[in-house]
Amino acid sequence: MNRSSLPLLALSLLSLAACTNKGGADTTTQPAADSARVVNVYTHRHYETDKQLFAQFTKETGIEVKVIMADDDELLSRLEAEGQNSPADIIITADAGRLGLARQRGYLKPVKSAILEAAIPAHLRDPEGHWFGFTVRARVFAYDKNKVKPEELRTYADLTKPRFKGKVLVRPADNVYNQSLVAAMVAHDGPEKAQAWCAGVVANMARDPKGSDTDQLLAIGEGQGEVAIANSYYIGKLLTSDDPARQKAKNAIGVVFPDLDGRGTHVNISGGGVAKHAKHEAEAIKLLEFLVSDEAQRLFAEGNMEFPVKAGIPAAQVLQGFGAFTPDTLDLAKLGSNNAAAVKVLESAGWK
């Protein structure tokens, strides 16, 4: 994939219509646009928690949830091709940068909801109501407890020290989670400082970047590196897994919430917004409001190891075990507006 600013994939509508759920799940249901008691959801999320929540929403409201599931770029390609004829009512994806891109391209419409505004902190939603976060993920360090002391990894800058030469594991530059971390650095301190950090990480990489966040964690278990950059929910899932292939990593890994120059740990969201040409806007808003209910927030926390956006809902026990967590409160709308600069910084630093 080219490391351009959140690239769209060239994908035909015919191939996307046959899109299936990841992990071998059932084929997604085609959206319907002719019922007043339906909401059509285009989503990148592929978790059992979401299926359970959609089913519960239907049970409580009588509104059927129809789902199209695909990669983020595929969903954006579909929306572009469908234009005003799109049946999409809600667009759900991971990363505020992608939600920002969807807004920039005119795929989302602003909505007002006192429920959403009361439940979601201002920095975790679009200031004009185009999108709303409903879970939080922290970009943290996982380290080999047998080789690294946690006090060696207090800040993101620590990853660039000579101590970790040849020890750092991380996924490629075209991954949006890395782009958004760098976008946050650009927003806070400018591109020059962000590029210096990226160059330091590149100099300390244990191998060329490849794979998912989970692949970086498994590589720690195999002794291929000593510290990895990963989203918190991947680590939570690994540490609660009974999969024999994950036990080495599970037994080796410790977690640190790194600090971003005194601002706390970089966080991102999974969230959604109402589609520009939604035919069922009221039902769409009702579903978004349901996703920040106490019931839904608890299931996101316990079922998918994500931090709730709503105050008063506890994180899963395994995440609480990571220690004290102070999130950066940067307005996440800036992740999208600084994405192009972040991509340029990553390229200039030689991050593959």
pTM higher than the cut 0.85: yes
User: Does 322 fall in a domain?
Assistant: no
Q: What is the DSSP letter of 169?
A: E
88-105 pLDDT, tens per residue? 999 999 899 999 999 999
In-domain check, residue 165: yes
Same domain, 73 and 219: no
> What CATH number is given to the structural domain containing 214?
3.40.190.10
Dihedral pair phi/psi, residue 176, rounded to 5°: -65, -25
Q: How far is CA 162 from CA 29, 159, 220, 301, in A?
A: 52, 9, 19, 37
In this structure, the answer to whether residues 103 and 180 fall within a common structural domain is: no
Please indicate, yes or no, whether residues 130 and 154 belong to a single structural domain of this protein: no
Q: What is the pLDDT of residues 74-93, one digit of tens each?
A: 998 999 999 999 999 999 99
pLDDT of residue 6: 41
Indicate the number of domains in the chain: 2
Give the domain extent around 167. 137-265+338-348
Would residue 284 count as lying in a domain? yes
Q: Is residue 148 assigned to a domain? A: yes
| 326 occurs within a structural domain | no
Which pLDDT belongs to residue 36?
63
Does residue 211 sit in the same domain as residue 166? Answer: yes
Kindly state whether residues 197 and 257 are assigned to the same domain.
Answer: yes
Instruction: Judge if 274 and 199 occupy the same domain.
Output: no
Whether 281 and 219 map to the same domain: the answer is no
**Residue 34 CB partners (closer than 8 Å, separation 6+):** none
- Under-70 pLDDT residues of the chain: 1-36
168 within some domain = yes
3-state helix, strand, coil in the chain (%, to 5): 45, 15, 40
Give domain status of residue 4, yes or no.
no
